[in-house]
A and B are shown apart, each in its own frame.
Chain A
């Protein structure tokens, strides 16, 4: 069953075409890893999914919600944009936790403000989510009192608090010290095992190999090759893919 469908997504920054006509369908419980050299458009694609970046053209479908690029920002569109965003959890490279709120308050904020969930219920759910990412004992800490890995795990819990249909990760471990990467990947792995639908932009090749149902290689704003992680890593067809894998040290020179 398809959860999210991107059709003909295009995006340019000035003269520079970052995405040219991307089409992508993701099924329920599928874990899709997007890789590619920097500047290949993978982060922009992810940001276009929730219209953090407005595409120049194309359609994003999520369940029964549909948002078309380039339509005027009227009430109807604002509503469908909100619906799209409420149903996608976005995890940022820089975490972007709310620094004036504790870990628990960060996780309670969305449900209380957006879903108008009662405070005690939001709190109970928030504690459960922090337990899930292994941080129940840190719930009263402010972000600045947490390590990068802990902050990113809170950020994942915050995204989960809205009970999204799909989780989007934009290089979730790139800002972390190497020794903190594992704890974040572990949380993501557990989520994948529970059947969460995920799109992950990452340079973590081991994660892609172990967890991804499908791996996509992007370059110059197009999807160069896609396939199972076995197909991409062990039997890449495209010259561009082989070169990329060589560059990141995943294939013998």
Chain B
């Protein structure tokens, strides 16, 4: 192993790591919004919304992310929807993670004790007020551990986007290896970078979980 190769490869790899983080952060934000509203749709009373939500979740949990990526990037141009590689990647990642998150949110909302809704409603709150003020704040805390998990998987899944020519961390590593013929060194460096990124976010989310659980410590 040659240290000079690592030093030389590091700047482009770090730059690619930024792309990876960007993909992950933008996708998770969209996925959170998507997952949240899908969960509400599936819990709610409107049959049509419930149906759409169920079909969406079933489709995106029931097919491989790589296939979803190919359909969006290579398939859609056939019906004249052409998206650049990065938007394609973000779309696939967020639709995929959104489906998983909607299930976490749904479970978290249903996990809040029924007595909470009853207490809110019995005072005269509307269903919406009870949701907003009482149920959701409690379900977010319940959802954080699984949300963390989904986010970690999402960060790793960004590496799949390399197959549609996005120069994120994995794609950049492959490009560098093509020039240096040092696959072991470069892929290990890439692995360490992934690990650092994921550890950083794990710690961050752990702290967030502790903060939202303050009221549970007697």
Contacts and interface: CB of A to CB of B under 8 A. Distances in A.
A243 interface: no
A100 B216 CA distance: 8
A217 to B, nearest CB: 25
Residue in A97, A109, A144 whose Cβ sees the most chain B Cβ within 10 Å = A109
A86 interface: yes
B124 A114 contact: yes
B118 to A, nearest CB: 6
Interface string A91-113: 01010111111100000011001
A144 B217 contact: yes
A99 B123 contact: no
Contacts of B129: 113-114
Contacts of A144: 215-218
A113 B133 contact: yes
A101 B214 CA distance: 11
Contacts of A89: 123
B12 interface: no
Interface string B40-57: 000000000000000000
A123 B129 CA distance: 20
Interface string B120-152: 111111100100011001100100000000000
Contact of A96 (B118, B138, B215): B118
B111 to A, nearest CB: 13
B124 A85 contact: yes
Given A92-B118, A114-B129, A144-B215, A99 B138 contact: yes
A50 interface: yes
B216 A99 contact: yes
Nearest to B132: A113
A197 interface: no
A78 B126 contact: yes
A139 to B, nearest CB: 14
B138 A52 contact: no
Contacts of B138: 99-100
B124 A98 contact: no
Contact of A142 (B115, B124, B215): B215
Contacts of B218: 142, 144-145
Contact of A50 (B122, B133, B141, B215): B122
B180 interface: no
A96 B121 contact: no
A83 B162 CA distance: 59
Interface in B192-218: 215-218
A109 B123 CA distance: 10
B8 interface: no
A86 B215 contact: no
Nearest to B118: A52
A113 B128 CA distance: 11
A226 to B, nearest CB: 25
A82 B126 CA distance: 8
B136 to A, nearest CB: 10
A150 interface: no
Interface in A49-103: 50, 52, 78, 82-83, 85-86, 88-90, 92, 94, 96-102
Given A113-B133, A144-B218, A96 B124 contact: no
B112 to A, nearest CB: 10
Contact of B122 (A85, A94, A98, A109): A85
A96 B114 CA distance: 9
Contacts of A100: 137-138, 141, 215
Interface in A157-200: 158-159, 162
A102 B141 CA distance: 17
B119 interface: yes
5 contacts: A52-B118, A82-B126, A100-B138, A142-B218, A158-B119
| 3 closest A-B pairs by CB | A86-B124, A96-B119, A96-B115
Given A78-B126, A99-B215, A158-B119, 12 more contacts: A52-B121, A90-B118, A90-B119, A90-B122, A92-B119, A94-B115, A96-B113, A100-B137, A100-B215, A113-B129, A142-B218, A144-B218
